[in-house]
Structures are given as structure tokens and as C-alpha cells.
Amino acid sequence: MNTDLWVVVPFHNESGWIGGTVAALAAQQDTDFCVVFVDNGSTDASPAELRAALALCPELRATVLDEPEKGVGAAADTGFRLAIATGARWIARTDADCLPAPDWTARVRHAMDARGLELMSGKVRARTDDTGTPLRTRALAAFTHELIRFAAPRLRTNEGPGSRFVMTPGGNMAIAAATYLACDGYPRASFDGESSDKALVNRVRQVSARLGYEPRALVRHSTRRVQHYGLRGTLRWYRDHVVPPRQVIDVR
């Protein structure tokens, strides 16, 4: 699997979602990439669904790993380090409830190569294929993300020295391999600790100023968090990584 671009997909109990992610990756216009799926202790049917989906997409160059250590940071780190050890120059990440647009890998490559970014944050919007999600919830999800993206640099300017903060969702991001190693990558913390996405950005800020937003790199995600937390709870989640009372959802 010799390519300069790898995609990492950590997952935990994503039955009903992960097959769509596989299909979206197999439908990419730029097919010069490899993907590694990292199972973070799933107890549902998602591993079987992943195998079935991959069987339908033999053109997708995929590896599947198990990471028993709980936490999206641990799972993502395992996948990123495998990619780097195999020769990746850039590593992108999406989640197993996400649908990257058909030109996503091409946009990632442009951001990292032509633009020279070392950490890319992409555009996220709500999935439109979830018939149980009202239109107003999808609109709320989009509004919430844009509000957080705009406010994040201002909310987090007191988090130590470094370059400007760029809100970077784990479901749509990419990083240069050399930068990942230089900043020591994702913290291998549990779901109950600090947001792994936020921690990674703050680590990158210490070693690089080449962080940026690529609005043409689009990924559609589920609206589970907004449905469970609401606007105020979602804003608090992204600001402080605090789960609202009585609203427990293990989105790793």
C-alpha cells in the first residue's frame, strides 16, 4: 500500500452508519489513498457490517485494526502511526457516521500539497439521508458548527503560546505526518478526558503556524450530538468538553 495519503476512521458501535462511510470513501474521485479502520472496542454489529461493506468495495485499499484502549484519541493515534510507518506523507481523518463528498480526498490533497497546510480543518454539514432528523435539526447543526468555528479562536486564545487556534473537527481533518510526529499526535486519553481534537490542535500550534480551513473539503456527519445536547449543550461540549447532565452519549 504505497501512497502518500492515508485516511483513518476510528469507530465504536457504529452499526447502521459505517457501511455508508465505506461506500463514500470507495466513491472518491481521487482514488490514490489507503484507509485504515480502527475498531475501538465495538460490541455491536459494526465490525461485521464493515467487513460486508469492504467486500462490496474491493477497489478500496483498506486495513482493519483493533484498539482495545478506550478513547478516540487512542484509536486515531494507532491508525495515524500505522499510516506514518507505512510511508504516509499526509493523514486525513473522518468518522464512521460521516459521508465525505466525492471530491474530499482531492480537496485534502490540494490543501496539504498545493496550499502547504500542515493541519487542515474541513467543512462539515449534516447528513441528508437520515430521515429521522428534522430539517430544523440539520440547520441547527450547520449553524452550531459555523458559530463554533468563528468563535473558537477567540474563546481559546488563553490556552498558552502558539499559533492561531483553528477549530478542527475529527470527522474532517488532515495533518502532515512530520507535524504529527513533531507534536506527538493525539493524546491517548479516554472519552472522559479532554477533547482529543482540541488537544491535538493545541499541540500542533506549538510546532507550526500552517493551520488552515479548507471550505471545499466537505464531510456530512450525523446529527446525534445536536439532537442529544441541543444548541446550548453542543456549544458547551465544544468549548469545555462537558457532557450536559443526564444526556450521556458515547460518541468517540
CATH number at residue 45: 3.90.550.10
User: Is the predicted pLDDT of residue 38 greater than 80, yes or no?
Assistant: yes
Tell me which residue range forms the domain holding 73: 5-126+162-219
| pLDDT, position 245 | 45
pLDDT digit string, tens, across residues 138-158: 555 555 666 566 655 555 544
Residue 12 lies in a domain: yes
Give the tens place of pLDDT for each residue, 166-225. 889 899 999 999 999 999 999 987 655 567 888 999 999 999 999 999 999 999 988 665
Residue 95 lies in a domain: yes
| Mean pLDDT of the 115-121 span | 98
On whether residue 150 sits in a domain, the answer given is no
Q: Is residue 231 part of a domain?
A: no
User: Quick check: 161 pLDDT over 90?
Assistant: no
Q: Examine residue 142 and state whether it is found in any structural domain, yes or no.
A: no
For residue 11, pLDDT beyond 60: yes
- Region 56-66 average pLDDT: 97
Domain count, the chain: 1
In a domain, 196, yes or no: yes
Classify 168 as helix, strand or coil: coil
**Residue 234 falls within a domain, yes or no?**
no
Return mean pLDDT, the chain. 84
> Would residue 29 count as lying in a domain?
yes
* Rounded Cα–Cα distance for residues 93 and 95 (Å): 7
Strands (E), the chain: 5-11, 34-39, 62-66, 90-93, 98-100, 119-126, 173-176, 211-221
Q: Say how far apart CA 73 and CA 189 lie, in whole Å.
A: 6
The answer to whether the CB of 237 falls within 8 A of the CB of 229 is yes
Q: For the sheet containing 90-93, what is the strand order?
A: 62-66, 34-39, 5-11, 90-93, 173-176, 119-126, 211-221, 98-100
